[in-house]
Amino acid sequence: MVWDLAVVGAGPAGATAALAAMRANPEAHVLLLDRAEFPRDKACGDGIAVHVADQLHALGAPQVLAGAPPVTGLRLTTPGGITAAGRPRRANHVVPRAEFDARLVAAAVDAGAQLRTAKVRTLTSDGARVVLDDRHSARVVVAADGANSTVRRLLGLPANQGAHLGIAVRGYAPGDPGAVEQRIDMVADGWPAYAWDFPTGTGLRNVGVGVARDRLRGGKTALHQRLLTLYPEVDAASLRAHHLPFSSSRPQPAHGRVLLAGDAASLINPLSGEGIYYAVVSGRLAGEAAIRRPDTAGAAYRRALQAMLGRHFAHTTTLARVIRHRPLVEAAVTVAAKRRAAYDELVEIALGQGLLHVGTLAQVLAAYRPERRWERIRAR
């Protein structure tokens, strides 16, 4: 048979694409392929922004977050010791990916998508359909197979490199089941780099470190050691490393009848490493375009993605260059620590669709005094 949509990869982007397609047309024939069986572990910070909850509600799948305790606090600390802390306007969640992904896949299957275990190795197209492994034929394919996407490689698209690629390692450590604050500590070593400590509400914390690939010396082993040094209580067996293809260098999101979503489309926030929100948004837009406009799905998807995230990505791409100059980041967090509106802006830029507004930029520049700031940092 010819599927209306075949989705490669059943992570957040792929499962959402399948779910959105079935919501757009409950009679559609949607195939969801993944090489793993669910539930399965996935290296991630496990942070689920409130914006993800909005998308799940719109897709009729609020049960994906059922029972997940809200995380109401967020604390950001610079290498110079400046801290901006507060309660975001709406609570976020922290849900282990083994659980989150399995629930999202279940929602897609319950809606009518067909889930099969397979590893895609070949892709061909005759202009009217796409064929995967000489076996699965579809009118549209969504490539949602992650940072090391096979489909992206089969399309001849290069992987992210250098400053446009991050690498992170996460692990699980004992924690207070009542903790409700996420912590992000910027790290001077390998700047820009950061460490995180996110409570899951289950007596475990998701802890990790991330750095731009061009600033890492010593490879994955050095990154593991950095995590173990910062969080010696972490369970070493739980360590998992993963690549973060930043949105500062994105391929075209559509190639003929093949649409790229999530990490496969390099939709990772270069400021925070956030990726699940962009995966869910891009998956939804790709699934809807595939079903509603199969013959022009690529153009429809590009327009929708640009309208939803284009300005945001332009701002984060610019800021990705700015944050390499550490005093400016110190100044930005100083302003956020004193001004609630700036704190909210910083959170939105890191987790959702936020923009840096002129007023906040002016305040950051006013707080930016390189000589004095470096003197204070060195004195600590």
> Which tens digits make up the pLDDT trace of 187-213?
999 999 999 999 998 899 999 999 998
Please give the residue that has the higher pLDDT: either 61 or 372.
61
In one-letter notation, the amino acid at residue 318 is T
User: What is the structure's pLDDT at 201?
Assistant: 87
Strand order in the sheet with 136-138: 2-3, 136-138, 130-132, 123-125
Q: Are 80 and 330 in contact (CB under 8 A)?
A: yes
Give pTM, 2 decimals.
Answer: 0.94
149: left (phi over 0), alpha (psi -120 to 50) or beta: beta
Q: Which DSSP letter does residue 349 get?
A: H
pLDDT at 369 over 80: no
User: What is the structure's pLDDT at 252?
Assistant: 97
Q: How confident is the model at residue 371 (pLDDT cuts 50, 70, 90)?
A: very low
286 burial type by CB count under 10 A (0-12 exposed, 13-18 middle, 19+ buried): buried
| Residue showing tokens 């305790």 | 69
User: What is the structure's pLDDT at 219?
Assistant: 80
Q: Name the packing angle between helices 358-367 and 340-351 (round to 10°).
A: 110
Q: Which DSSP letter does residue 125 get?
A: E
pLDDT at 161 over 60: yes
Please give the residue that has the higher pLDDT: either 4 or 352.
4
Averaged pLDDT score across all residues of the chain: 94
Q: What is the pLDDT of residues 291-302, one digit of tens each?
A: 999 999 999 999
pLDDT at 328 over 80: yes
End-to-end CA gap in the chain = 67
What average pLDDT score do residues 139-159 get? 97
User: What is the structure's pLDDT at 372?
Assistant: 52
What average pLDDT score do residues 182-188 get? 95
User: What is the structure's pLDDT at 123?
Assistant: 97
What average pLDDT score do residues 38-54 get? 95
Could you give the CA distance from residue 82 to residue 76 in angstroms, rounded to a whole number?
Answer: 8
> 5: which residues sit within 8 A by CB, 6+ positions away?
17, 18, 21, 28, 29, 30, 31, 138, 139, 140, 141, 142, 287, 290, 291
What average pLDDT score do residues 280-309 get? 98
pLDDT at 376 over 70: no
User: What is the structure's pLDDT at 220?
Assistant: 82
Share of the chain above pLDDT 70, in %: 97
pLDDT at 349 over 90: yes
Query: Which domains, ranges and CATH numbers included, belong to the chain?
Result: 2-65+97-161+247-310 (3.50.50.60), 162-243 (3.30.9.100), 316-379 (no CATH)
User: What is the structure's pLDDT at 191?
Assistant: 93
Q: How confident is the model at residue 25 (pLDDT cuts 50, 70, 90)?
A: very high
**CA nearest 261: which of 274, 278, 243, 247?**
278
